[in-house]
Amino acid sequence: MALVAPFLWQSSGGRMLSRHNRLLVPVLGVVLSLSAGPAPSSVAQTAPLPPLVQRYINGEHGAVAAALANELQSKQQTSAFRAELQRRIRDWSAPIAATFVLEASAAAFPVSPRDAVEMLALGRSRLAGNVTASFELDWHLAAIALLQGPPGRHGSLRPGFDNDWPSGRLVFDRIGLLAEIRIARDRFPHDARLTLAFGIANEQGLHQYSYTRAVVLANPERSRPTLIEDGATGRTVARVPTDGEAPAREQLETTVRAFEEVAMSGSVDLAPTAKLHLGWMERFRGRHEVALRLWRDVLETSKDRSTRFLAMVFSGRAFMETARWDEAAEMFRAALTLEPRAQSAAVPLAAVLLAQNRADDAARVIERSLEQAADARDPWWAYLRGAFDEWPNRLQALRANLR
């Protein structure tokens, strides 16, 4: 326990312990006693790492998380610990703090995903210019992965994250996350990767309003909500919101601007991805020709299999929506040569064939798709819901870089 007081004293800037700080003492006492090494004399960035973090870095994530979980029995303790940690964590090196928040903390106390991304986004800003490119990229992509989706039941990395409804929780969190990413963007307005992350997060936040958005964009002049009535009873069964009620329009415009910025940045790595996303947004705005031109650019410049697949599927969808059946079928078929089991291409292809009065061919496409579905992987899933496959790998890379 003697080791704890100086630690708290240092971390609170030499002030006397507050009432909250005093509540922390037994908690931190246990946590810190897990450490094999001596307690640090300072938590400044240049000083030895706090033992808790050191243990975490040594790979003892489970022990650290369990200790925290066991000790934080009351809301008061949790709240106090969280406040203290947030004070200290600002003095730790940003990557360690961010990774700690991402991994060790999630099982134990309520640092939300929003906090985690804040650490990543703001920490990344602090690190800009003095870290290696690969580390920066890994860190950044981890932030994107977090924005794009939870690890779900991949299981071990952050078990507390998905305790109930991973996708639903993320819908709420994403709104908060955007605010934090925006802060980082303001500090580094010309960082294309951060802008792209912002756009993607924004776009994915839009998806829950996709129908609203389509309606609003199809008829922007509409001033009254549209009522859908039951033909038989005349009863109103649904009410489609107006422009004013739909939150998506402004968000869509913001997202478009982010993607445009990256698309025009000249970045060989990022521009095709930005154009892919920008095209999808333009399609939502009803600008199908603009979208198709962007996706043609993507197909001419990108060698990435998933990006090319999506450009083909998106083009097929745009052709389908404008009744250009032959071109739609051609695009979906091309996409299936890249990902033969992807139903995001197979089912619309069958629908197009049906529209061409080729019902037998359509049925054959469906039957083949059902046969091949067991091991299907579909880039569309990652586009729409998050790059889940990337997530554990990125965190592993982060951890490795910390050693």
Partner 1 sequence: MKRPALALTLVVASLMSPPQAAQQPVFRTRADAVLVDVSVREGNRPVLGLLAADFELTDNKVGQAVRLAMRENSAPLDVTVVIDTSESIDPAVLAREAAKLLDVRSLLKSEDRFRVLAFDSVVREVTTAAELAPAPDFERRHTALWQALGAVLLQKTAPDRRRLTLVVTDGMDTISMIPPELLLFLADRSDTVVDLVRVGNQKWAGAQYGGDFGTSDIDRYFSWLLREVVERTGGGYYGIPSTGDSAEHLREAIQEFRSRYLLSYAPAGVSTGGWHEIKVRVKKPGRYTVVARKGYLRH
Query: 196 to 225, contacts with partner 1 by CB under 8 A?
Result: 208-209, 211-212, 214-215, 218-219, 225
For partner 1, the binding residue among 183, 373, 396, 400 (CB under 8 A) is 373
Options 67-75, 94-102, 130-138, 362-370: segment touching partner 1 (CB under 8 A): 362-370
Options 31-39, 53-61, 133-141, 227-235: segment touching partner 1 (CB under 8 A): 227-235
Q: SS3 sequence, 67-83?
A: HHHHHCCCHHHHHHHHH
β-bridge partners, 229: 236
* Nearest residue (CB) to partner 1, 304 versus 390: 390
* Nearest residue (CB) to partner 1, 41 versus 167: 167
Contact between 69 and partner 1 (CB under 8 A)? Answer: no
For partner 1, the binding residue among 351, 395, 398, 399 (CB under 8 A) is 351
Dist. CA 365–CA 367, nearest whole Å: 6
CB neighbours of residue 250 within 10 Å: 9
Instruction: Give least dist CB 279 to partner 1, A.
Output: 15
For partner 1, the binding residue among 57, 261, 388, 398 (CB under 8 A) is 388
Contact between 381 and partner 1 (CB under 8 A)? Answer: yes
Contact between 348 and partner 1 (CB under 8 A)? Answer: yes
Alpha carbon distance, N-terminus to C-terminus of the chain:
29
For partner 1, the binding residue among 1, 179, 359, 400 (CB under 8 A) is 359
DSSP string, 250-302: HHHHHHHHHHHHHHTTT-TTTHHHHHHHHHHHHHHTT-HHHHHHHHHHHHHH-
Q: Provide the 3-class DSSP secondary structure of residue 345.
A: helix
Find all residues with CB under 8 Å of 108, minimum gap 6, and list them.
64, 65, 66, 67, 68, 69, 72, 160
Instruction: Give least dist CB 348 to partner 1, A.
Output: 5
Please name which of 385, 308, 318 lies closest in space to residue 339, comparing C-alpha atoms.
Answer: 308
The footprint of partner 1 on residues 134-173 (CB under 8 A) is 149-154, 162, 164-168, 171-172
* Nearest residue (CB) to partner 1, 193 versus 213: 213
Dist. CA 329–CA 297, nearest whole Å: 20
Q: Provide the 3-class DSSP secondary structure of residue 368.
A: helix
The footprint of partner 1 on residues 308-347 (CB under 8 A) is 313, 317, 320-323, 325, 343-345, 347
Residues 237-266: x where in contact with partner 1 by CB under 8 A, - otherwise, as a string: xxxxx-------------------------
For partner 1, the binding residue among 12, 356, 393, 401 (CB under 8 A) is 356
The footprint of partner 1 on residues 267-306 (CB under 8 A) is 286
**Residues listed for the chain:** 403
Residue 397 in tokens: 């890379």
DSSP string, 9-40: HHHTTTPPP-HHHHHHHHHHHHHHHT-SSPPP
* Nearest residue (CB) to partner 1, 21 versus 202: 202
Instruction: Give least dist CB 27 to partner 1, A.
Output: 30
The footprint of partner 1 on residues 90-119 (CB under 8 A) is none
* Nearest residue (CB) to partner 1, 165 versus 189: 165
Task: Check: CB of residue 142 under 8 Å from CB of residue 85.
Answer: no
Please give the size of the binding site for partner 1, defined by CB under 8 A: 74
Instruction: Give least dist CB 35 to partner 1, A.
Output: 34
The footprint of partner 1 on residues 171-190 (CB under 8 A) is 171-172
For partner 1, the binding residue among 41, 74, 76, 226 (CB under 8 A) is 226
* Nearest residue (CB) to partner 1, 60 versus 162: 162
Options 133-141, 188-196, 299-307, 378-386: segment touching partner 1 (CB under 8 A): 378-386
Q: Which residue has the tokens 């064939």?
A: 353
For partner 1, the binding residue among 3, 63, 128, 376 (CB under 8 A) is 376
Q: How far lies 168's CA from each of 142, 158, 205, 211, 249, in Å? A: 20, 17, 11, 18, 22
Options 41-49, 255-263, 299-307, 361-369: segment touching partner 1 (CB under 8 A): 361-369
CB neighbours of residue 242 within 10 Å: 17
Q: Left, alpha or beta for 212 (phi > 0: left; psi -120 to 50: alpha)?
A: alpha
